[in-house]
């Protein structure tokens, strides 16, 4: 048995082990899964989210930011130099009319974005500012700008090393560039690292790309229509997801894909209106953002706490360095891999620097975060979070902030959350599938078994409050970044060669 | 150098009338006839990841289908007419792409058919023929 097939067997076992608890009796589903996960995966979660010794700085956040800084410097601040060229590419200025009918750069960007614009932009940012204060916004933007270089690197490689099949379909992503790229450069261990990435990617697709989304969407719906069992949401969601990814009912997906960009625009538009209506706060709000970014404002961890929250949120939201976008972009038919990389560097900008920042600004401008008038410091609740005007947190905080100015907007937000969750699920089902077929081979049976499992996890995710499971799936997504960024370090000279014109 | 006529053909009865009209003209003037077929495509529509991955194959399938199912039977039927006939199949916005074909083929005239319905749909989405009347780069004959 070769090392590869051995690892393949191990991967299969790991994934089957995940699926087993699902068959447990429904009423104990929650506890069974929680227990099984807490026992078997706790060490992994604590390892991923552990801090640098003697600090409160999670090393994984440092890892992502260090990667982004190194790529930014190595490619000579590509994200600032090439942004004009990237926009021209998306507008189609360089498109060959003969290629009409192929996937355009615009479509590639929109598809990849619909995978990353999700609950992180709405709920996650609210969590970040309620822990890290307004200063987190500053660091989130910095991290978003740096992340553009990571995206550029991984997406260029995704296109360069993808597999093309005789039928005209393609499969690509980190597992392919790790395996092929390492072999090409004579670096050992590529095969093993690629398998590791694929395993993490499958786990991440079941977790952060699926269960977390289903869970949060249910919370939102229940918040509006009143509490009801989560499995109902789960079954409905699973049925729709099943119809799209197994039944090939493209119309549902197409509707979502059309509505999601519209919702994103509506969201940013509403945010701008709210900011304009509270424009009197502008000097104060930006003062708070800079004050919080560099000085003590009473939040846990001070300015460093703001930095951690901002960086962590940006990383969760735009997935730069995680490798997921490389899978999405590698399907695009383009002659120059570098053009796809340039287009992809716009993603962290739109996702983090625009959309996430809007959420943060609305919360700050509408003065949701309570300040102690005596000391000028933020008031902390017992959970270490800043006390909010309505007592809400997470999605609720974003909802309250929008609702404070536009009373009916929380209802629009519910629709947006559900649609964002759905489109993120569809995207991650594709990422997970590509990792799955990398491990088990391309084929109808392999694809169906993955898709069925994926739908099962939608129900599980919506039905239970799965803290350990969600922790684990977040950890799996970050674990993808550990493997992926190692690969990006090894392969970044290849991208530099592709870049050519910058020398 | 002989003249070139471009006739838009999409398999409909209206477009067939346009082709017949162009054919009669071509026969008398000895012009070359280009049958243009455009597959509706926008680079700004939204696709799922699956659709992105399959797009290249789908595009090939769509081109093949246009050639075999739509233009093939017509070419077979017109084979004995003595007119030099070519085909030009492209993706894009229908009216704009037809205009581009006329320009690039060096046509002296283009011929399109119309269905004659002034339906609500046509008013909302803009009829191809109406757009062509505005943007055609060469004289454009509209066959009722």
pLDDT at A19 over 80: no
User: Which tens digit of pLDDT belongs to each residue from A103-129?
Assistant: 888 888 888 888 888 878 888 899 889
Nearest chain A Cα to B100, which residue?
A: A97
User: Which tens digit of pLDDT belongs to each residue from A389-402?
Assistant: 887 777 888 989 99
How many angstroms separate the CA atoms of A356 and A404, rounded? 19
Mean pLDDT, all residues of chain B: 85
Cβ–Cβ gap B46/A103 under 8 Å: no
How many angstroms separate the CA atoms of A194 and A216, rounded? 31
Of B39, B48, B53, the CB nearest to A170: B53
- In this structure, what token pair is assigned to residue A412? 């629009």
Beta carbons within 8 Å of A244's beta carbon, 6+ residues apart: A250, A252, A253, A426, B48
Query: Residue B129, class by beta-carbon neighbours within 10 Å (0-12 exposed, 13-18 middle, 19+ buried)?
Result: buried
Phi, psi at residue A388, to the nearest 5°?
Answer: -105, 160
pLDDT at B118 over 70: no
User: Which tens digit of pLDDT belongs to each residue from B10-31?
Assistant: 888 888 899 999 999 999 988 8
Residues recorded for chain B: 144
What does the domain layout of chain A look like in residue ranges?
A: 60-499
How many angstroms separate the CA atoms of B14 and B27, rounded? 20
Q: 10 Å Cβ neighbour count for A384?
A: 12
Nearest chain B Cα to A330, which residue?
A: B53
Residue A5 binned pLDDT confidence (cut-offs 50, 70, 90): very low
pLDDT at A20 over 50: no
pLDDT at B66 over 80: yes
Cβ–Cβ gap A167/B57 under 8 Å: yes
Yes or no: say if A333 and A103 are a contact pair by the CB < 8 Å rule.
yes
Which of these, A119, A321, A86, lies nearest to A221 by C-alpha position? A119
Yes or no: say if A423 and A264 are a contact pair by the CB < 8 Å rule.
no
User: Which tens digit of pLDDT belongs to each residue from A447-470?
Assistant: 999 999 999 999 888 876 656 666
Compute the Cα dihedral for A430, A431, A434, A440 and give only its sign: negative
Residue B42: DSSP 8-state: -
Give which of A168, A327, A430 to mutate to test B binding, by max B Cβ within 10 Å.
Answer: A168
Residue A73 binned pLDDT confidence (cut-offs 50, 70, 90): very high
CA atoms within 13 A on the CB side of A470: 16
Distance from CA of A358 to the nearest CA of B (A): 24
Which of these, B99, B140, B5, B53, lies nearest to A437 by C-alpha position? B53
pLDDT at B97 over 60: yes
Which of these, A4, A2, A323, lies nearest to A161 by C-alpha position? A323
Yes or no: say if A288 and A134 are a contact pair by the CB < 8 Å rule.
yes
Distance from CA of A107 to the nearest CA of B (A): 6
Residue A14 binned pLDDT confidence (cut-offs 50, 70, 90): very low
Mean pLDDT of the A263-282 span: 91
pLDDT in the model for residue A92: 84
Q: What is the dihedral of CA B44, B101, B53, A500, to 10 degrees?
A: -90
Cβ–Cβ gap A430/B49 under 8 Å: yes
pLDDT at A11 over 50: no
Yes or no: say if A104 and A92 are a contact pair by the CB < 8 Å rule.
yes
Cβ–Cβ gap A106/B43 under 8 Å: yes
The owner of tokens 């997906």 is A253
Residue B122 binned pLDDT confidence (cut-offs 50, 70, 90): low
Q: What is the CATH number of domain A60-499?
A: 1.20.1740.10
- Classified as helix, coil or strand, B140 is strand
Residue B52 binned pLDDT confidence (cut-offs 50, 70, 90): confident
Distances (CA, A) of A76 to A146, A315, A344, A487, B45: 12, 21, 17, 20, 34
Yes or no: say if A398 and A120 are a contact pair by the CB < 8 Å rule.
no
Residues recorded for chain A: 503
Per the DSSP assignment, residues forming a β-bridge with B90 are B38
pLDDT at A497 over 50: yes
Which of these, A224, A253, A223, A273, lies nearest to A404 by C-alpha position? A273
Per the rule left: phi > 0, alpha: psi between -120 and 50, beta: everything else, A290 is alpha
- In this structure, what token pair is assigned to residue B77? 């039927």
Mean pLDDT, all residues of chain A: 84
Give which of A97, A99, A100, A434 to mutate to test B binding, by max B Cβ within 10 Å.
Answer: A100
Compute the Cα dihedral for B120, B126, B132, B133 and give only its sign: positive
How many angstroms separate the CA atoms of A476 and A469, rounded? 10
Q: What is the CATH number of domain B4-143?
A: 3.40.50.620
Of A229 and A173, the one with more pLDDT: A173
């Amino acid at each position: 048995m070769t090392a590869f097939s051995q690892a393949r067997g191990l991967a299969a076992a790991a994934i089957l082990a995940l699926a087993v608890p699902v068959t447990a009796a429904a009423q104990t589903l929650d506890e069974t899964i929680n227990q099984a996960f807490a026992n078997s995966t706790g060490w992994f979660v604590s390892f991923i989210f552990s801090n640098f010794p003697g600090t409160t700085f999670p090393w994984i956040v440092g890892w992502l930011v260090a990667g982004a800084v190194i790529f930014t410097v190595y490619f000579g601040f590509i994200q600032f130099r090439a942004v004009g060229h990237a926009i021209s590419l998306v507008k189609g200025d360089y498109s060959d009319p003969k290629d009409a009918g192929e996937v355009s750069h615009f479509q590639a960007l929109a598809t990849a974005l619909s995978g990353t614009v999700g609950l992180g932009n709405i709920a996650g940012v609210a969590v970040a500012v309620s822990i890290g204060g307004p200063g987190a916004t500053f660091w989130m933007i910095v991290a978003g700008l740096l992340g553009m270089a990571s995206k550029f690197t991984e997406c260029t490689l995704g296109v360069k090393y993808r597999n093309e099949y005789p039928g005209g379909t393609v499969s690509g992503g980190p597992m392919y560039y790790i395996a092929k790229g390492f072999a090409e450069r004579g670096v050992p261990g590529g095969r093993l690292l690629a398998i590791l990435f694929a395993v993490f990617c499958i786990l991440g697709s079941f977790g952060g790309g699926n269960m977390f989304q289903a869970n949060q969407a249910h919370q939102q719906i229940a918040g509006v229509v009143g509490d009801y069992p989560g499995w109902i949401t789960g079954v409905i969601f699973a049925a729709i997801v099943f119809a799209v990814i197994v039944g090939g009912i493209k119309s549902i997906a197409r509707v979502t894909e059309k509505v999601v960009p519209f919702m994103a625009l509506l969201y940013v538009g509403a945010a701008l209106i709210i900011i304009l209506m509270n424009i009197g706060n502008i000097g104060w709000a930006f003062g708070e953002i800079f004050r919080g970014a560099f000085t003590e404002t009473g939040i846990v961890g001070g300015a460093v706490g703001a930095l951690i929250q901002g960086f962590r949120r940006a990383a969760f939201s735009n997935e730069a360095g995680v490798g997921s976008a490389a899978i999405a972009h590698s399907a695009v038919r383009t002659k120059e891999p570098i053009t796809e990389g340039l287009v992809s560097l716009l993603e962290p900008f739109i996702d983090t620097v625009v959309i996430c920042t809007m959420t943060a600004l609305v919360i700050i401008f509408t003065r949701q975060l309570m300040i102690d008038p005596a000391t000028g410091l933020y008031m902390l609740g017992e959970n270490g979070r800043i006390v909010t005007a309505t007592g809400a947190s997470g999605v609720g905080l974003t909802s309250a902030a929008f609702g404070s100015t536009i009373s009916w907007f929380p209802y629009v937000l519910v629709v947006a959350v559900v649609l964002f969750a759905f489109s993120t699920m569809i995207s991650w089902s594709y990422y997970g599938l590509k990792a799955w077929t990398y491990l088990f081979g391309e084929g109808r049976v392999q694809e169906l078994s993955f898709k069925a499992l994926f739908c099962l996890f939608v129900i599980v995710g919506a039905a239970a409050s799965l803290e350990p499971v969600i922790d684990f799936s977040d950890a799996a997504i970050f674990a993808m970044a550990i493997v992926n960024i190692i690969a990006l370090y090894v392969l970044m000279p290849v991208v530099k060669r592709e870049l050519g014109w910058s020398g | 150098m002989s003249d070139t006529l471009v006739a838009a053909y999409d398999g409909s009865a209206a477009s067939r009338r346009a082709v017949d009209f162009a054919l009669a003209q071509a026969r008398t003037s000895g012009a070359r006839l280009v049958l243009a077929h455009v597959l509706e495509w926008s680079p700004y529509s939204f696709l799922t990841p699956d659709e992105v991955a399959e797009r290249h194959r789908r595009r090939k399938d769509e081109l093949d289908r246009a050639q075999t199912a739509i233009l093939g039977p017509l070419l077979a039927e017109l084979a004995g007419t003595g007119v030099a006939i070519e085909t030009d199949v492209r993706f894009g916005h229908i009216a704009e792409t037809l205009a581009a074909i006329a320009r690039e083929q060096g046509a002296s005239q283009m011929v399109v058919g119309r269905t004659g319905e002034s339906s609500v749909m046509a008013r909302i989405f803009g009829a191809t023929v109406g757009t062509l009347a505005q943007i055609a780069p060469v004289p454009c004959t509209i066959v009722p």
